[in-house]
Chains A and B, each alone.
Chain A
Amino acid sequence: MAFYFVQFLTGLASAASLFLVASGLSIIFGVTRIVNFAHGAFYMLGAYVAFTLTERFSGALGFWGGIVAAALVVAVVGVLVEMVLLRRIYHAPELFQLLATFGLTLMVQDIVVMIWGPDDLLGRRAPGFKGAVDFFGQNIPSYDLFLIALSPVVLGILWLLFQRTRWGVLVRAATQDRDMVAALGVNQKWLFTSVFALGVFLAALGGALQIPRDAVHHALDLRIIVEVFVVVVIGGLGSIIGAFVAAVLVSELNAFGILIFPKISIILVFLVMAVVLIVRPWGLFGKPEAAARRTPGLTVNPWRPLNSAERLMSVGALALAAMLPLFAGNYALTVGSEIAIFVIFAASLHFLMSVGGLASFGHAAYFGLGAYGVAFLAKAAGLPMIVSLLLGPVLGLLGAAVFGFFAVQLSGVYFAMLTLAFAQIVWSIAFQWVAVTGGDNGILGVWPDKWAAGPAAFYWLSLAIAAVAVTVLRVIVFSPFGFALRATRDSPLRSEAIGINGKRVQWTAFVISGTVAGIGGALFAYLKGSVFPDSLGISLSVDALVMVLLGGVETVSGAVIGAIVFKAANIWLVSQTDLSKLVLGGFIVLMVVAFPKGIVGTLETIWNRRRSTDTKSALATSRVEVAE
């Protein structure tokens, strides 16, 4: 009994940091409507800075002074980020905000390694809380008791701040109606900046307080942000009480999940999240959101199928690509195959994002599931390549069917956070369930059959499948189903009113998209001859998002170009520099701020502008055509 009680207390202690970070995220979202992906990065920075301050400057500040100073230092960094970057993208679509803040996260990962090195750092223990308290023969670290007491105190301080100060009243008012607050003479800019500073302060404090408990390392950011996303989805984005309750709930589920399913403890959290989402899609303490802002995918220029000249050009480009083995070496062909595979992957995400208006932040899950599907079939069942290639993606389909069912209940940022959390759950299962997946060691020796083993043959196979996949997706865009999907994206209410079952249509799109991603993953497994949990990871999901964005979200098939350019640049970049995350992160931020339409989108705009100035009457003609 005592053991379970101690386990319960451990859970409560872990909840403290989770609550601090989640409440910060919630406060920032409430006012600015930005889901700050970089919140995990600020948490990690808080831990690193606190490590340095308590190690090097403990004489001047003392341990506790160091902790608070670290949170303040990081809050100042947060203010700079807000003023330089976020102010430019407050009116951008959610997807861009998530991506830009993710770009920041990538940059911070490389920066902390540059400053503090790649090794784990063990911080000091807190003075006065070094020992443990004996409880019926079980030891409880006294620092844990301190953390348990801390979170209700923080909750109380936040409550007073929001209920009893003018600043708090203004923040609550802005949470509801930003423009009205401005129309009453309040400078939103500084309100936003101060809110962001408070949110970042809380995140950094959460990180700093962890150093006596846990090693500081450069993967802390993604670990915490996924848990925090789960917490705010359960508790309700924007609610501080919700963040508190859900942080405790998730931490306890983790603490006891380890006892029940030691290998896949995260499954318990997932089940609870699924139940909450079915009963209250906006979270336990959240409020149903009014119609969310539009996701990208709204075109001023209506989409149209390719005309015959463009079709001919596409076939020509494909034929040209097919001639690569005539003059390129084996390395180039392997790179070519990889690019073709990522064209499939990016096109599948593009279909979900641009056509469906659902920006998934965990699309790698279905890519990776397809890869694992092939690996299981080829290694465990010993099936031939053709059969594995056909059946492997079924695992991606099943994953997409299960997760998609829950995900399409939500939209906008909730959808993005949920898909990310799902992907991370699949990743942890692959990582932890060593008996089946090989864990970190992956599954090795997944080689193609003889007929496809040569680089040229495999390249042709990948190219052919990519061509078919992109064509099929394009056909779907202009099919009745595609029209229904776009109608649901553009106006859920109106499409519902003409008899379209929006959720069903979106779910189907999710499954199609996941299956195509799985096909890409299946090929990827054969290309690499192995499967690792990385194929399900966040960074792969984000790569796909960047490809789509680079190509142009508002286009029909921009992802094809985006994937080719991104993958080629990425392979080149990794060979040139060790700081590829810093460069990639900086590139993402730059692209979101300066170049949001992507390559194809920008070309289309230029093309349309030229055409409209060439023939002024074209507009009138096209109107007539549309009317007919």
Chain B
Amino acid sequence: MKLQVADLNSFYGPAHILFDIALEVGEGEVVALLGRNGAGKSTTFRSIVGLVENRSGRIMFEGKDVSREPTHAIVRGGLGYVPEERRIFTDLTVEENLEVGRQPKRPNAPFWTREKLFTLFPNLGEMRNRPGGRMSGGEQQMLTIARTLMGNPSLVLLDEPSEGLSPKIVEQMVDAILAMKKEGVSIVVSEQNLHFARLISDRAYIIERGKICFGGMMAELDARPDIRDAHLSL
């Protein structure tokens, strides 16, 4: 098991946001975390990488409990995180943004170089010296993923990668995620868009109001339109 989360509870100040979240990701698997706006998808990711400090529960990554480690140590251990709001360093060029993400080679994870990433995201290769602030939303989204891959993660948390992108860019995104999967990166992708999730994922969880209310193969979800209609707005 690559990642195993159990009994995860998170708080923002006095507000209880996540309730006993449990999810598992197998080696090389792509798992979708589906849910409406505000259901707790981003908070789940932020809690896993330690950006939400007030949390309890067990977060086993590659057999080790990382729930007490600081963010940078979790990420250095090979758990990559791509935030929803992209958070490109707008003053830094594309190459400099990648440099911030660079980490040493890891034995159990694919190794990414700039050149390899520029073949995966050809657009980025054409604007190496452009400041991040002068890129389109789609290009910025590509850059955040590439930046995280520079850390050679064995698992990546991708927070709503298709949000706000044009259909054409979404297609490129699907290709990129499938290419990552082929390299052997495990992926958890949060989505509101079931269609997009279906193209890339093996399994899915549905989160609603901070609780996991479904977990199973994509095919099972397709067989249960009642669950789909109750928890996802399509």
Q: Which residues of A contact B (CB under 8 A)?
A: 166, 169-170, 172-173, 175-177, 179-188
Q: Is the CB of B51 within 8 A of A183?
A: yes
Residues of A with C-beta under 8 A to B151? 184-185
Q: Is the CB of A184 within 8 A of B147?
A: yes
A187 and B99 CA atoms in complex are apart in Å by 15
Residues of A with C-beta under 8 A to B92? 169, 172-173, 176
Q: Is the CB of A172 within 8 A of B89?
A: yes
Q: Is the CB of B49 within 8 A of A183?
A: yes
What is the chain B residue whose CB lies nearest that of A187? B72
A175 and B96 CA atoms in complex are apart in Å by 14
Best-surrounded residue of A172, A176, A185, A186 (most CB of chain B within 10 A): A185
Q: Is the CB of B100 within 8 A of A170?
A: yes
Binds A, one of B75-83, B135-143, B181-189, B226-234: B75-83
Q: How far is the CB of A240 from chain B (nearest CB, A)?
A: 13
Residues of B with C-beta under 8 A to A185? 72, 75-76, 101, 103, 151
Interface string of B83-104 (1 = CB under 8 A from A): 1000101111000110111110
A180 and B233 CA atoms in complex are apart in Å by 30
A184 and B152 CA atoms in complex are apart in Å by 11
The reply on B148 being an interface residue by CB < 8 A is yes
Residues of B with C-beta under 8 A to A169? 92, 96, 99-100
Residues of A with C-beta under 8 A to B73? 187
Q: Which residue of the partner chain, among A166, A170, A175, A183, contacts B71 with CB atoms under 8 Å?
A: A183
Q: Is the CB of A173 within 8 A of B90?
A: no
Q: Is the CB of B75 within 8 A of A177?
A: no
A176 and B97 CA atoms in complex are apart in Å by 12
A173 and B131 CA atoms in complex are apart in Å by 12
Task: Pick 21 A–B contacts, CB within 8 A, sort by A.
Answer: A166-B99, A172-B89, A172-B91, A173-B92, A173-B96, A175-B91, A176-B90, A176-B91, A176-B92, A177-B87, A180-B83, A181-B100, A182-B51, A182-B70, A183-B49, A183-B81, A184-B148, A184-B151, A185-B101, A185-B151, A186-B72
Q: Is the CB of B83 within 8 A of A184?
A: no
Q: Is the CB of B72 within 8 A of A173?
A: no
Would you list which residues of chain B between 49 and 68 have a CB under 8 Å from chain A? 49, 51
Q: How far is the CB of B233 from chain A (nearest CB, A)?
A: 29
Q: Is the CB of B89 within 8 A of A173?
A: yes
Q: Is the CB of A180 within 8 A of B72?
A: no
Q: How far is the CB of A293 from chain B (nearest CB, A)?
A: 16
A5 and B3 CA atoms in complex are apart in Å by 70
Residues of A with C-beta under 8 A to B91? 172, 175-176
A183 and B97 CA atoms in complex are apart in Å by 13
Residues of B with C-beta under 8 A to A184? 75, 100-101, 147-148, 151
Best-surrounded residue of A170, A182, A183, A188 (most CB of chain B within 10 A): A183
Residues of B with C-beta under 8 A to A173? 89, 92, 96-97, 100
Q: Is the CB of B89 within 8 A of A180?
A: yes
Residues of A with C-beta under 8 A to B83? 180, 183
Q: How far is the CB of B113 from chain A (nearest CB, A)?
A: 16
What is the chain B residue whose CB lies nearest that of A181? B100
Given known contacts A184-B148, A187-B70, what 5 new A-B pairs fall within 8 Å (CB)? A169-B96, A176-B91, A179-B71, A181-B100, A186-B72
Q: Pick the 8 closest A-B CB pairs, nearest first.
A: A185-B75, A185-B76, A180-B87, A173-B100, A182-B71, A173-B89, A184-B101, A182-B72
Q: How far is the CB of A109 from chain B (nearest CB, A)?
A: 36
A180 and B81 CA atoms in complex are apart in Å by 10
A188 and B70 CA atoms in complex are apart in Å by 10
Residues of B with C-beta under 8 A to A170? 100
Q: How far is the CB of A589 from chain B (nearest CB, A)?
A: 25
Best-surrounded residue of B83, B87, B90 (most CB of chain A within 10 A): B87
A177 and B76 CA atoms in complex are apart in Å by 18
Q: How far is the CB of A88 from chain B (nearest CB, A)?
A: 15
A166 and B102 CA atoms in complex are apart in Å by 10
What is the chain B residue whose CB lies nearest that of A179? B51
What is the chain A residue whose CB lies nearest that of B46? A183
Residues of B with C-beta under 8 A to A175? 91
A180 and B97 CA atoms in complex are apart in Å by 11
What is the chain A residue whose CB lies nearest that of B133? A176
A180 and B51 CA atoms in complex are apart in Å by 10
Residues of B with C-beta under 8 A to A176? 89-92
Residues of B with C-beta under 8 A to A180? 83, 87, 89
Q: How far is the CB of B132 from chain A (nearest CB, A)?
A: 9
A182 and B83 CA atoms in complex are apart in Å by 12
What is the chain A residue whose CB lies nearest that of B103? A185
Residues of A with C-beta under 8 A to B100? 169-170, 173, 181, 184, 186
Q: Which residue of the partner chain, among B72, B90, B148, contacts A188 with CB atoms under 8 Å?
A: B72
A182 and B75 CA atoms in complex are apart in Å by 8
A169 and B92 CA atoms in complex are apart in Å by 8
Q: How far is the CB of A29 from chain B (nearest CB, A)?
A: 16
Q: How far is the CB of B107 from chain A (nearest CB, A)?
A: 16
A541 and B102 CA atoms in complex are apart in Å by 47
Interface string of B170-183 (1 = CB under 8 A from A): 00000000000000
What is the chain A residue whose CB lies nearest that of B97? A173
Residues of A with C-beta under 8 A to B81? 183
Q: How far is the CB of B93 from chain A (nearest CB, A)?
A: 9
A137 and B96 CA atoms in complex are apart in Å by 52
Residues of A with C-beta under 8 A to B97? 173
Interface string of B11-52 (1 = CB under 8 A from A): 000000000000000000000000000000000000001010
Residues of A with C-beta under 8 A to B102? 166
A510 and B102 CA atoms in complex are apart in Å by 49
**Known contacts A169-B99, A173-B100: A183-B75 contact under CB 8 Å:** yes
What is the chain A residue whose CB lies nearest that of B77? A185
Residues of A with C-beta under 8 A to B90? 176
A170 and B92 CA atoms in complex are apart in Å by 10
What is the chain B residue whose CB lies nearest that of A165? B99
Residues of B with C-beta under 8 A to A179? 51, 71
A550 and B1 CA atoms in complex are apart in Å by 53
Q: How far is the CB of A190 from chain B (nearest CB, A)?
A: 10
Residues of A with C-beta under 8 A to B72? 182-183, 185-188
What is the chain A residue whose CB lies nearest that of B96? A169
Residues of B with C-beta under 8 A to A182? 51, 70-72, 75
A186 and B75 CA atoms in complex are apart in Å by 9
Residues of A with C-beta under 8 A to B101? 184-185
What is the chain A residue whose CB lies nearest that of B157? A183
A181 and B97 CA atoms in complex are apart in Å by 10
A186 and B70 CA atoms in complex are apart in Å by 11
A184 and B78 CA atoms in complex are apart in Å by 10
Q: How far is the CB of A169 from chain B (nearest CB, A)?
A: 5
Residues of A with C-beta under 8 A to B89? 172-173, 176-177, 180
A102 and B190 CA atoms in complex are apart in Å by 46
What is the chain A residue whose CB lies nearest that of B74? A185
Residues of A with C-beta under 8 A to B71? 179, 182-183
A176 and B76 CA atoms in complex are apart in Å by 21
Residues of A with C-beta under 8 A to B49? 183
Q: How far is the CB of B51 from chain A (nearest CB, A)?
A: 6
Q: How far is the CB of A585 from chain B (nearest CB, A)?
A: 31
A177 and B92 CA atoms in complex are apart in Å by 12
Q: How far is the CB of B13 from chain A (nearest CB, A)?
A: 9
What is the chain B residue whose CB lies nearest that of A188? B72
A187 and B70 CA atoms in complex are apart in Å by 9
Residues of A with C-beta under 8 A to B76? 185
Residues of B with C-beta under 8 A to A188? 72
What is the chain A residue whose CB lies nearest that of B152? A185
Best-surrounded residue of B81, B89, B96, B101 (most CB of chain A within 10 A): B89
Residues of A with C-beta under 8 A to B103? 185
Q: How far is the CB of B100 from chain A (nearest CB, A)?
A: 5
A495 and B147 CA atoms in complex are apart in Å by 39
